[in-house]
Chain A
Amino acid sequence: MRKEICLSGSGGQGLILAGIILAEAAGIHDGFEVVQTQSYGPEARGGASRSEVVISDEKIDYPKIIKSDILLALTQKACYKYIENLKEDGILLVDSTDVTKIPPFKGRVYQHPITEDAIKVLGNQLVANIISLGILVQISEIVSKEALKQALQTRIPERIRDLNKKALEYGFQIGENLINIT
């Protein structure tokens, strides 16, 4: 089993941290082999950013994505760019706050205004990454929810932990709703 997950958007959206939390959940708490890599530009904010996570039950040779099983796209630009490398039967999750046009795709597609909810429901745009993780894990079961919660606990500083826990639970709930709709 080798699963490749691409988390994409723009710099500052917390995609690298999301990748680290997912990797920690898979590697430490669920006991898989895992590699997390990233690609970003020299800017502190803005510019394309992506975080790649490869999960496997055996030693991982090539550490980057060959063809994604799961794609998270928080921006329209990222969606256009990375959908080309998504497997035909893969999973696409987009933040419909920015992604309004979805290219033709045969696999499973889930859309939700993630950033809009982060602002309206959680009161902080910055937790869009954690809501996304919650949805992604709920719809794909790529790691266990328990593992993800534990990883969040260790990788998020205490002063903002409660907010992020709420964001994760909210993500699970949205994920559940999305499954029921489709």
Chain B
Amino acid sequence: MSEKKRLEKILQGNEACVEGAILAGVRFFAGYPITPASEIAEGMAQRLPALGGVFMQMEDEIASMAATIGASLAGAKAMTASSGPGICLKQENIGFAAICEVPCVIVNSQRGGPSTGLPTKPAQADVMQARWGTHGDHPMIVLSPSDVTEVLNITIKAINFSEKYRTPVMLMLDEVISHMREKVIIPPKEEIEIIDRKKPTVVKEDFLPYKADDDLVPPMANFGSGYRYHVTGLVHNEKGYPTSNNKEIDYLIRRLTNKVELNKKDIILEEKYLLDDARVAIVAYGSVARAAERTVKLAREKGIKVGLLKLITLWPFSDDTISQLASQVDLIVVPEMNLGQMVREVQRAAEGKCRVISYSRVDGELINPLEILAKIEEEGK
């Protein structure tokens, strides 16, 4: 068998997520089974013990999130995965991870909601929850791949971002992406960029657990390694103790958000397809971006100049790219498997410079290319 053949596999999106996580160094997973995310837990349960890692099936999603945070504090790269109903339960602890600056990745394989909703059908209706599901001002990095190879690569990115910025990262899949099987070439280890959290460089006695460097990210000591520190969900000072000092409060809340917002250039991942001469732009993400790519080809066959902006990073949002795009095109169409969530962000960033319209589908089926084309043709009349 040739070298290339050996590394080629037919993988499901969820299996590719497991491969990516393991390549990125994840060695702890806590979860609770739920369709359409279960195969991630299944894969982790098979793979982690052999690598000296730990898989824990917890009593519920709340405990899974808590265990993920605990493992990360102790030094492991940690991940959990769920779907809408489980992600709802995790919200309080996601806020805890954000304020305590605990690196971790939460996978949300989206299904129709609300509540138990549609267990086996895709949706994209959790993209606002991903940003604002837990209360209070907090940073959030949210990524959304659209094919199986991308699931593998973006899972690695998600782990890297969480380590680099010491923050929870949400990886948004959906039923289509999670269960879809495609040919994937597994990259060799030496070709993958791996980022590990910064470790303290001071002696143990001088360690201030929440004293940030110039990049606004504090170095992180493994809990229990002799660097003493206090971990609390209360707003805290550099020592990690609760504070009611207005200056310290203001500093922490702004720093948490700024460590992500000021690094947008590094975090925002997007792809442009045939946008150079476009008069109409489709802005899409996740599985719907695959339909949109086909729409672009079909439209161009008919002589309509359509291009695609695919968002891989949903949060922080691509304000600058959308603003430029709005100056160039006459119309932006945002197809989503929800009743119009990211379209509002696109409208905000477009600042009225062009028309922005939503195309929604919420019946549990993936949007198809012909529907988006019909919407563009209807609007063009």
Contacts and interface: CB of A to CB of B under 8 A. Distances in A.
Same assembly: yes
Interface string A1-33: 000000000000000000010011001100001
A35 B179 contact: no
Contacts of B369: 61-62, 66
A40 B238 CA distance: 52
Interface string B2-15: 00010011100000
B293 interface: yes
A35 B183 CA distance: 8
Contacts of A23: 10, 181
A107 interface: no
B181 A61 contact: no
Nearest to B182: A35
A153 to B, nearest CB: 14
Contacts of A40: 120
Given A27-B10, A66-B370, 17 more contacts: A20-B181, A27-B182, A34-B181, A34-B182, A35-B182, A36-B10, A39-B120, A40-B120, A60-B182, A61-B297, A62-B293, A62-B369, A63-B182, A63-B287, A64-B366, A66-B368, A66-B369
B77 to A, nearest CB: 30
Interface of B: 5, 8-10, 35, 119-121, 147, 176, 179-183, 287, 290-291, 293-294, 297, 365-366, 368-370
B9 A28 contact: yes
Contacts of B147: 63
B183 A64 contact: no
A130 to B, nearest CB: 18
A39 to B, nearest CB: 8
Nearest to A21: B10
16 contacts: A23-B181, A28-B9, A28-B10, A34-B181, A34-B183, A38-B179, A39-B120, A39-B121, A40-B120, A41-B120, A42-B119, A42-B120, A61-B297, A62-B290, A63-B180, A66-B368
A64 B182 CA distance: 12
